[in-house]
């Protein structure tokens, strides 16, 4: 989120109706998270430390829920993301488990495609995501019954069918999306109202943050996902972590 957008979010806090609406959504999201922690244990939250994910971490910590936290360190994340990881652990007093790519798979990818081969084709980019994200995710979710995410339906065309609660066929577990119906505005009202830390890149025009080579700032009026894999079409802009309404298909990891 740009500096001007951040200022706008601050102004929105003066709108009592908007703040009340976010408060209602917060109650509903917390109720869903309690449900996951109670009825689908063990549950884990996968965080990329984006704005939405910081809301979910704050909700989990605030309600003291027994939901594990983990993140995927692809090895190509921006420095600001690592800084926020350390800050988040210190603020909430909870360790966020870090999963990294297998070194042999990563070395094989680079040998085959080159260090920045993901720019060359959708196939090469998805192969990179497979090594750096999808395979580590399969390890992180092993033995779990519920997978909590910070996904929102309005984030991308591939997420339009997102529901608060569903079943992930790839990993055969319950998928919990407490912010499914939240807007970007809702997220920023919550963050500012509760003084939740967030990635500094959001104030430099990065509404969506992934790996450094695959993320750029967006211009005014651009879609919030325009800065992710900007050389591809919107329909291919997923890394393979999420299957939404059957529109993103991929094989199970071995």
**84 with 110: CB under 8 angstroms?**
no
pLDDT along the chain (254 residues), means of 10: 59 89 97 98 97 98 98 98 98 97 98 96 94 97 98 70 91 96 94 95 92 92 83 65 42 32
- Residue bearing tokens 């980019």: 125
Residue 232: predicted pLDDT: 84
Give the model's pLDDT for residue 229.
86
Query: Would you state the pLDDT for residue 161?
Result: 75
DSSP-derived pairing of the beta strands 165-168 and 146-148: unpaired
Q: What is the reported pLDDT for 216?
A: 94
Q: Say how far apart CA 108 and CA 175 lie, in whole Å.
A: 32
What's the pLDDT score for residue 147?
98
Query: What does the domain layout of the chain look like in residue ranges?
Result: 3-96+139-236
- Detail the DSSP E strand segments found in the chain: 43-46, 67-72, 97-99, 146-148, 165-168, 173-176
State the pTM of this model.
0.86
Show which residues are catalytic.
Answer: 239
CATH class of 3-96+139-236: alpha beta
Helix, strand, coil percentages, rounded to 5, for the chain: 50, 10, 40
- How much is the pLDDT for 65? 98
């Amino acid at each position: 989120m740009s500096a001007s957008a951040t200022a706008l979010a601050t102004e929105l806090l003066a709108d009592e109706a908007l703040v009340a609406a976010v408060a209602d959504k917060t109650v509903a999201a917390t109720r869903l998270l309690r449900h996951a922690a109670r009825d689908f244990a063990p549950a884990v939250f996968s965080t990329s430390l984006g704005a939405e994910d910081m809301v979910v971490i704050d909700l989990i910590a605030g309600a003291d829920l027994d939901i594990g936290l983990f993140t995927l360190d692809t090895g190509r994340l921006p420095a600001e993301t690592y800084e926020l990881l350390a800050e988040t652990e210190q603020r909430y007093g909870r360790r966020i488990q870090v999963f990294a790519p297998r070194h042999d798979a990563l070395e094989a990818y680079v040998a085959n495609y080159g260090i920045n081969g993901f720019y060359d084709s959708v196939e090469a980019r998805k192969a990179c995501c497979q090594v750096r994200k999808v395979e580590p995710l399969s390890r992180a979710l092993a033995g779990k019954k519920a997978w909590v995410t910070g996904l929102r339906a309005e984030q991308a065309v591939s997420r339009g069918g997102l529901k608060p609660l569903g079943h992930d066929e790839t990993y055969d577990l319950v998928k919990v999306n407490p912010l499914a119906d939240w807007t970007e505005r809702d997220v920023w009202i919550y963050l500012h109202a509760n003084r939740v830390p967030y990635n500094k890149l959001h104030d430099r025009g990065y509404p969506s943050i992934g790996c450094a080579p695959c993320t750029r700032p967006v211009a005014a009026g651009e879609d919030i996902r325009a800065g992710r894999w900007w050389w591809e079409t919107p329909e291919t802009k997923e890394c393979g972590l999420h299957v939404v309404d059957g529109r993103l298909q991929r094989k199970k990891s071995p």
